[in-house]
Amino acid sequence: MAVTSAPAVRFAPSPTGLLHIGNARTALINWLIARRDGGTFLLRLDDTDQERSRPEFADAIVADLAWLGIAPDRVIRQSDRLAIYDEAAERLKAAGRLYPCYETPDELDRRRKRQLARGLPPVYDRAALALGPDERARLEAEGRRPHWRFRLEPGIVAWDDLVRGASQVDCGSLSDPVLVREDGSYLYTLPSVVDDAREGITHVVRGEDHVTNTAVQIQILRALDAAVPAFGHHNLLTTATGEGLSKRMGHLSLRGLRESGLEPMAVAALAVLVGSAEAVRPVDSLEALGAILDLTHISRAPARFDEAELRALNAKLLHAMPYAQAAPRLAALGCDLGEPFWAAVRGNLDVMADAAVWAPVVTGPVDPVVEDQAFIAAARDLLPSGAFGETTWKTWTGAVKAATGRAGRALFMPLRLALTGRDHGPELAALLPLIGRERALRRLSGERA
Ligand code: GLU
C-alpha cells in the first residue's frame, strides 16, 4: 500500500547502545517515506529507562544517522516529557483502564507456573482488579507499592498493516500490560503512544517484534480518544548465521561498519533492500533508494544480513562512482590526483581508503622490482617518446612483444613489477600516463622514483 500525503514519521531508538544495521533499516525506511512524500521525520529518544540510557549513546545515534544521510526535522527525549505521560496515566486511571496491582515478581512467577502446570495460558488473572479500597489500603500499609496495568478490552484488534496487509491480534489472549512500574517509572508503551498522538505521527513503521504491541497501543490510543496512525511492521534482520541483532552486543553497529571504511550508501542500500522483492544493488543516493522502496515488497520472513554481501556491494558502488562524488573523499584521504586517477583506480577498490594505496604508486617513490634486467632494459629503450596518453601502453607493449617475442604474463608482469613495485593493481594502460615518462624511465632503470 502506498503511503499517502505528507506523512509524519518517527524513529524511536532507546539510547542504550549503538545503532546496528537492523536499526538502520527502520530509520531509513521511515526517512525515505518522509522525504519521498514531503513529510517530517522525528527522532525520539526513548530514554525512560534511566539505568540503561546514556547521553553518549544518544549523541552516537544522532551522529550515526547523520553519517547515513538522515537529518531529523526534530529530536525529542522522553525523559523531558514525564509530566505529559503522568497526565495520560491519570486519565486512564480515571476511566478505570489503568489499575493498581500489588503482586511481587515472585508471586506472579508462581502463578504463571501453576497456570502452565494446569495447561492454561500464562495470562495475568486480573486478581488485582477485584481488590477493594480496604484491601488496597492493607497492602499499602504492608509497604507494598503498586505497579499499574492497562485493562485490555477482550476481542480482536485489526489494522491494515502498511507492510503485511490485513493484520489482527486477539487481545483476549494477552496479559494486561504493565504501563507504570512500582517506582513510578514508565515502561515503553504509554510514553510511546502519548508521544505518537501528541506529535501527530501518521505512520508508525517499525520491526515486526512490535506487532503485539501495536494491538495494545491501538487500544490505549482509543482509550485516550487519540487518532490511530497507520502501522507497518517490517521483517527483522538476523546475522548471516541467523541470530538476532542486539544493540547491546554492538553487533554490526553502524559505528563499526563506518570505521571499517564502508560507504554509507552501501550500508543504506543493503539495509533497505535486503529481504525485499527488490534486488540488492548499488544505489547512489537516498533519493534513488526512496524511489525503489515499496513497503509491500518487504518479505514476511526474517532477512539475513551478510557482511560479505555488504563488502561486495560497497566495491560495486565505488567501481561505478563518478569522480565528482569521489573527489571530496579523495581529498580527505590526501590522494585526490584528479579524474584520470580516479578512473584508473576505482575498479580496484574494496573501500575508499584503498585509493590512498595507489596514489603513491603514481607519484612515487616506488621501489621497482626488476628480476630480468636485460628484458627491462630492452623495454626501457622502447618506451615511446613524447607525452604519454591512452594508447601509450598498447603501443609500447606491442613494440616490446615484437622485439622480445614475449607475450601474456611473461610480458606484462615484469613491466608491472618494475613500474609499480607490485604484482597486482589497476590497469597499467590507465596508470602509465599518470606515472609519466620521466618516472617510468627511472623505475625501468631500477631507480627508486
Ligand atoms: N524504543 C522502541 C524500540 O527501540 C521503539 C519502538 C517503536 O518504534 O515504537 O524498540
Name the residue with the closest Cα to ligand 1, atom 5: 12
Per the document, the length of the chain is 449
Burial of 227 (0-12, 13-18, 19+ CB in 10 A): exposed
**What value, to the nearest 5°, has the Cα angle with vertex 208 and ends 206 and 213?**
85
Beta-bridge mates of residue 231 = 204
pLDDT at res. 342: 98
**Gap from CA of 37 to ligand 1 centroid (Å):** 23
Distance CA 193, CA 196 (A): 5
Provide the terminal-to-terminal Cα distance of the chain, rounded to the nearest Å: 62
Q: In the beta sheet, which residues pair with residue 148?
A: 100, 180
Ligand 1, atom 4: closest residue by C-alpha: 13
Give the model's pLDDT for residue 244. 86
Q: How far apart are CA 329 and CA 310, in angstroms?
A: 20
Residues 6+ apart with CB under 8 A from 284: 265, 317, 320, 321, 325
Q: Which domains does the chain have, with CATH numbers?
A: 1-96+155-172+184-320 (3.40.50.620), 364-444 (1.10.10.350)
Q: What is the residue with the minimal CA distance to atom 10 of ligand 1?
A: 13
d(CA 115, CA 310): 47
C-alpha cell at 124: 495475568
Q: What is the DSSP string of 67-104?
A: HHT---SEEEEGGG-HHHHHHHHHHHHHTT-EEEE---
Closest CA to 16 of 250, 197, 319, 358: 250
CA neighbours closer than 13 Å in the CB half-sphere of residue 237 = 26
**In one letter, which amino acid is 32?**
L
Give the distance, in angstroms, between the CA of residue 25 and the centroid of all CA atoms in the same chain.
Answer: 5
Q: What confidence score (pLDDT) does residue 235 get?
A: 96
Contacts of 39 (CB under 8 A, 6+ apart): 6, 7, 8, 9, 33, 202
At residue 6, the pLDDT reads 92
Q: Count the alpha carbons within 13 Å of 196 in the hemisphere toward its beta carbon.
A: 29
Q: Ligand 1: which atom is nearest the Cα of residue 14?
A: 1
Query: Is residue 126 classed as helix, strand or coil in its secondary structure?
Result: coil
Distance 258 CA to ligand 1 centre (A): 23
The whole model's pTM is what? 0.91
pLDDT at position 245: 84
Q: Which residue from 14, 19, 195, 206 has its CB within 8 A of the most atoms of ligand 1, so it is best to mutate?
A: 206
Residue pair 102/144 in contact by the 8 Å Cβ criterion = yes
pLDDT digits (tens), the chain, 449 positions? 454 579 999 999 999 999 999 999 999 999 999 999 999 999 999 999 989 999 999 999 999 999 999 999 999 999 999 999 999 999 999 999 999 999 999 999 999 999 999 999 999 999 999 999 999 999 999 999 999 999 999 999 999 999 999 999 999 999 999 999 999 999 999 999 999 999 999 999 999 999 999 999 999 999 999 999 999 999 999 988 888 887 666 668 999 999 999 999 999 999 999 999 999 999 999 999 999 999 999 999 999 999 999 999 999 999 999 999 999 999 999 999 999 999 999 999 999 999 999 999 999 999 999 999 999 999 999 999 999 999 999 999 999 999 999 999 999 999 999 999 999 999 999 999 999 999 999 999 999 99
Instruction: Give the pLDDT confidence of 70-83 residue by residue, as tens digits.
Output: 999 999 999 999 99
Q: Which residue has the least CA distance to atom 6 on ligand 1?
A: 12
- Nearest one of 427, 375, 424, 419 to 401, comparing CA atoms: 375
Instruction: Please report which helix (H) or strand (E) contains residue 230, including its range.
Output: strand 230-234
For ligand 1, residues with CB inside 6 Å are: 12-14, 46, 188, 192, 206, 210
Res 382: pLDDT: 98
In one-letter notation, the amino acid at residue 280 is V
Cα 249 from Cα 155, distance rounded (Å) = 38
pLDDT at 246: 77
Distance from the alpha carbon of residue 60 to the mean position of ligand 1, in angstroms: 17
- At 442 the three-state DSSP class reads helix
Q: How far apart are CA 93 and CA 99, in angstroms?
A: 6
